[in-house]
Each structure stands twice: as C-alpha cells, then as structure tokens.
Amino acid sequence: MTTHANELAVDVRGLRKQYGDVTAVDGIDLGIRRGEVFGLLGPNGAGKSTTVEILQGNRTRDAGEVSVLGSDPASGTRAWRSRVGIVWQDESAPAELTVRETVRHFARYYPRPRDPEEVIGLVGLEAKAGSRIKSLSGGQRRRLDVALGVIGDPELLLLDEPTTGFDPAARRQFWDLIRLLSEEGTTILLTTHYLEEAEALADRLAVVAQGQVVAEGEPAALRGRYGTEATVEWTEPDGVPRTERTDTPTRTVAELMHRFDGEIPGLKVTRPTLEDVYLRLTGQEDAR
Ligand SMILES: Nc1ncnc2c1ncn2[C@@H]1O[C@H](COP(=O)(O)OP(=O)(O)OP(=O)(O)O)[C@@H](O)[C@H]1O
Ligand SMILES: [Mg+2]
C-alpha cells in the first residue's frame, strides 16, 4: 500500500441515494484528510447513517464518486475492509457470549488486531469482561460496540452516533479514547447529535440537512461565520425589558451607558452558541 500524505482518507463527490420517493442523500461532497477527526452533524433523517453505510460499502449509491482509503467501497476487498473500523447506529452482538469472548472473537477477523484486554480497558469494561452481553446495560453495550470498532486497529474509524445512551462519565471517557486514537494517527468520522461533542472532538465538521451539506468548516469558524450577530438585553426605567439584535453590541452598550448615566438595569450581551447556529442552519430555529 502506498500512502500519500496529502491524499484524502475519504473523498466523496456528488453522492446521491434514493429510497423510493425519499431522497436520503442529495448531492453530498465530503473531503476528510488523513489523521483528521471529522464530525457529521444533522437532525434525524438528514442522511448521516446512509452516508456512513455507503462509505463502509454496506449500502449501494445511486450516483457520485466515493473513495475511501483509496478504494471505491462498492468494490472493497477484504483487505480494504480490515482497514476500516465501524460502529453502527444499531448494533447487535451475540447475547450469550461474554464481553471478553466477543472481543477476542472479533479480533480474529483482522490481520493485526489490538490486544483484546487493552481494548476492553480502553472502553472501560474491565469490570464486565467476564459478563454475558445480555446482562449489560445499554450504555455498556454501546461501549462494547466501540470496542469492536477499534479491535482491528483501523486506519479509518466510522462511528455512527457512538455515544448515544452514554452517561456523562462514559461520554468523557469515550472522548479521551477518540483523542488517543487520533493521536495514534487514526482518521475518524463520527456522526452525532451532540453539539458539544462535535465541538470537543472534531477538527472539522459538516452540518447536513435533508441530504445536503449546509455548512462545513472548523467548529469555531462556523460559529464565527454564521453567528456574528449578538443579542443585547436590558430593562428600561419603566420596567419594560428590551432586546436588540446587532452586529455592533459594543456601540449599543455605549449608547445605553450614555443614556442611563450609570448601571444599565438587566444588561446582558449574548453571542449565539454553536447550537443556535446549528438550529438556524438546519431550519430548526423554532425548536428552542
Ligand atoms: N432502508 C431504508 N429504506 C427506506 N428509507 C430509508 C432507509 N434508510 C433510511 N431511509 C430514509 O432516508 C432518510 C435518511 O435516513 P438516515 O438514516 O440516513 O438519516 P440519519 O441522518 O442517520 O438520521 P438519525 O439521526 O435519525 O439517525 C430518512 O428519511 C429515512 O427515513
Ligand atoms: Mg442515523
């Protein structure tokens, strides 16, 4: 295998997928660099899982060019598959096996797997290593899914809503795992509904809505590009609350200072959060 430093790990142009009348993916372009953590954000039904499944070669596409680690997933070989780790949105491991048996079993499918005990530790399942899968909680099962996604020591890891069902501590532990894998050079694509997760982990992210990319870039840049307008709130002397949206909040506050000649009652200046930007981009602004 030849690796080109500037070669994209994932290169998608004009991807389309139709299910009957439903256009699930409507002309998506994505470029994920090697070593990058890339977040795919979007509301329910946006086309995230469909895209991830096409990248893994598990679903056919109707149109578009797709290259994943230099191969077209539609004709991916077994050797290619072993270089791609995946955590599906809906996973089901055999219920009667223990965690350790399952991780060891899956390790045998790969030419150069990670150490099963190490992986069990990485996902925080040491205490459950000898337990049957059917006895695990939902979040513990999800951790096992993540373990099975990384056991083959993949070059590219595709994670479809990996932290759904995780408690806050498990989510933090998962974030640490993603950072560790990223430091080791793994390219990671993750879909998520959690803005703070995308912001914490992703070098770049794409927001998809109705099968199209509506915004793409570094999380901070996205917020800067779409979220410049600030909101200034204060209370008038007669007790009436006022709100003003403005690109120049400093000027507004200066004017208020002049007018009030002292403290401005109830003064608050807020910038849109990434979540505000996200809801606006995906047309869900009224959901707040
Ligand atoms: N096998 C299928 N048959 C028919 N329609 C499908 C199928 N899979 C997905 N769809 C439809 O395609 C659209 C995109 O679905 P997809 O699962 O890719 O969205 P998603 O972004 O992963 O959503 P979620 O956040 O809920 O997981 C939806 O309208 C969905 O109903
Ligand atoms: Mg999905």
Instruction: Give the pLDDT confidence of 155-175 residue by residue, as tens digits.
Output: 999 999 988 888 888 888 889
Q: How confident is the model at residue 1 (pLDDT cuts 50, 70, 90)?
A: very low
Per-residue confidence at 5, pLDDT binned at 50, 70, 90?
A: low
Measured from the Cβ of residue 87, the count of other Cβ atoms closer than 10 Å reads 23
Contact 40 CB / ligand 1 (< 6 Å): no
In whole angstroms, how far apart are CA 92 and each of 97, 102, 124, 133, 167?
12, 11, 19, 10, 20
Atom nearest to 49 CA in ligand 1: 22
Closest residue by CA, ligand 1 atom 25: 44
- Starting at the edge strand found earlier in the chain, the sheet holding 241-246 runs 241-246, 230-235, 268-270
- Using a 10 angstrom Cβ sphere, with 0-12 exposed, 13-18 middle and 19 or more buried, the burial of residue 2 is exposed
What average pLDDT does range 179-187 have in this prediction? 93
Closest ligand to residue 46's CA: 1
Query: Does the structure show a pLDDT above 80 at 153?
Result: yes
The reply to whether ligand 1 has any atom less than 6 angstroms from the CB of 44 is: yes
Lowest mean pLDDT: which of 208-217, 232-241, 267-276?
267-276
Residues 6 or more apart in contact with residue 159 via CB below 8 angstroms: 86, 87, 146, 149, 188, 189, 190, 191
**Rounded CA gap, 287 and 259, in Å?**
36
Regarding beta strands 268-270 and 212-217, do their DSSP bridges make them parallel or antiparallel, or are they unpaired? unpaired
The rounded mean pLDDT for the chain is 90
Digit-coded pLDDT (tens) for 195-210: 888 889 999 999 999 9
- Locate the ligand 1 atom nearest the alpha carbon of residue 161 and give its number: 27
The Å distance, Cα 81 to ligand 2 centre, comes to 21
Range from 4-18, 68-82, 208-222 that averages highest in pLDDT: 68-82
Pair type for strands 204-209 and 37-41 = parallel
pLDDT of residue 278: 80
Q: What percent of the chain has pLDDT over 70?
A: 94
Q: What is the mean pLDDT of residues 122-142?
A: 91
Is the pTM value of this prediction over 0.85? no
The per-residue pLDDT for 287 is: 54
* Span from the CA of 60 to the centroid of ligand 1 (angstroms): 14
Tell me the mean pLDDT in the region 235-242: 94
Q: Which of 28, 50, 282 should be mutated for ligand 1, with most atoms under 8 A from CB?
A: 50
pLDDT at 154: 96
Residue range 79-107: mean pLDDT, rounded? 88
Short-list 150, 152, 144, 98, CA closest to 125: 144
pLDDT of residue 286: 60
How far from 256 is each of 235, 243, 251, 266, CA to CA, in Å?
A: 11, 12, 9, 12
Flag whether pLDDT at 234 surpasses 60: yes
Give percent of the chain above pLDDT 90.
Answer: 65
Q: Which DSSP symbol is given to 266?
A: T
Q: Is 173 in the pocket of ligand 1 (CB under 6 A)?
A: no
| Of 32-46, 82-96, 197-211, the least confident | 82-96
pLDDT at 112 over 90: yes
The two beta strands, 156-160 and 84-87, are parallel
